[in-house]
Chain A
């Protein structure tokens, strides 16, 4: 009898110690619960196409225009040849001749939550040409097919570095089939890098609504098809930060929203 009693005493101590240990772990590894979205399951609001308006604007740049920074592609002669001796320069931080900014991602940041949008069936194409991504800034909807092709006779490697979506990293040899990917969650912006040619950079904005545009070589943008309402418009740039403005769009109204960035 004594034997078993005596056996359980140290046993109990060990067990107690283990419980204490696991309790300890729980206490130290406590993490904030992921914030759950508060949106209730409400029936989607339909959009009346006869009332939609649009937003246009210009992304201007104040200050001294930085000189373009040439890309050194020496390590891969294929890339150098593709630019026929003219070379290429970095697109981040680039300023247009008219003092405006290209490649700003302008989007409806808030105000469109009540609408739902079907996943578009058309592909968003990301090309690799001359060891540059074309386009440099790309907007897609959640779940939309991103179709990645290569026009270069050299091996590329596509490596998006998201915060909220799944990270992946795949190589694409010359002549290899296109890569098709989707992003499951909203994210502004996912940088995309090529680990073979590390100057290569693209940005993918994953949106829940289709109200976005990228400023062009004249610095202008247009967001079409906006139903009347109050919106927060965001303008994202790779090097000059992000700005936002509130705007009210009436039925069939054409609003102008301009942004000005400083270096």
Chain B
């Protein structure tokens, strides 16, 4: 008698096996779980992913709100604040990031209308623009460092590095999410009906990306302001 006959496989073991299979992983900094239809015996509604993402964004908002209030208080509490003039390259970076939001929308339209090439190319351009933005931020850091402005030079430079780094890391998470979507692009295109997990993933990533975009504009204004 074979052991299979003796011990019926319990449902949880099956499920666990499935769970430990290749997950694709890597949804890094963004909140959604990877919606892979093959791994779910039941369906989690798409709106749960959106809710999850909005909650993640709420937490990120609180994070930056805390940084902002720390910045305002720190500015007010002592007279050692010296405004850090922003490196010019930030304007270029801003343009790149704003453009990436537009290209992501184009990619989304591609998916909606099931045009695989349009979807993949624009998604790719978006990821590239995101990566360019991060590279550009690093250039900005280098320019500041070349001016002799480091993290601990002045409270305003501390906040400059802090806010750009915090935003950059979050955006890096977004880029990784985009790369993950690119890797799975064919699968997403294969099941792209309304409410399909792939489509939800793209939608949720887009929410995150646009939020990062808006967050950057906020940070830029904050850093520009001579308090």
Contact = CB atoms under 8 A, between A and B. Distances in A.
A and B interact = yes
Interface of A: 2-3, 6-7, 9-11, 13-14, 16-17, 20-21, 24, 27-28
A20 B128 CA distance: 16
Interface string B121-141: 100100110111011001101
Contact of A10 (B139, B179, B186): B179
Contact of A28 (B150, B182, B183): B150
A11 B124 CA distance: 10
B192 to A, nearest CB: 16
Interface of B: 120-121, 124, 127-128, 130-132, 134-135, 138-139, 141-142, 145, 150, 172, 175, 178-179, 182-183, 185-186
Given A24-B141, A24-B145, A28-B145, A7 B134 contact: no
Contact of B124 (A7, A27, A28): A7
B138 A24 contact: yes
Contacts, number: 52
A3 B150 CA distance: 40
Closest 6 CB pairs of A and B: A13-B131, A10-B127, A17-B135, A6-B124, A10-B128, A10-B131
Given A9-B128, A14-B131, 17 more contacts: A2-B120, A3-B120, A3-B185, A6-B121, A6-B182, A9-B124, A10-B124, A10-B127, A10-B130, A13-B128, A14-B175, A17-B134, A17-B138, A20-B142, A21-B141, A24-B141, A28-B145
A20 B172 contact: no
Contact of A16 (B135, B145, B183, B186): B135
B148 to A, nearest CB: 10
Contacts of A27: 145
A98 to B, nearest CB: 51
B128 to A, nearest CB: 4
B177 to A, nearest CB: 12
A7 B183 CA distance: 7
B119 to A, nearest CB: 11
Nearest to A6: B124
B120 A13 contact: no
A7 B182 CA distance: 7
Given A11-B179, A14-B172, A3 B186 contact: yes
A9 B179 CA distance: 10
Contacts of A11: 131, 179
* Central interface residue in A7, A9, A16, by most chain B CB within 10 Å: A7
B89 to A, nearest CB: 13
A6 B135 contact: no
A2 B131 CA distance: 19
A11 to B, nearest CB: 6
B135 A20 contact: yes
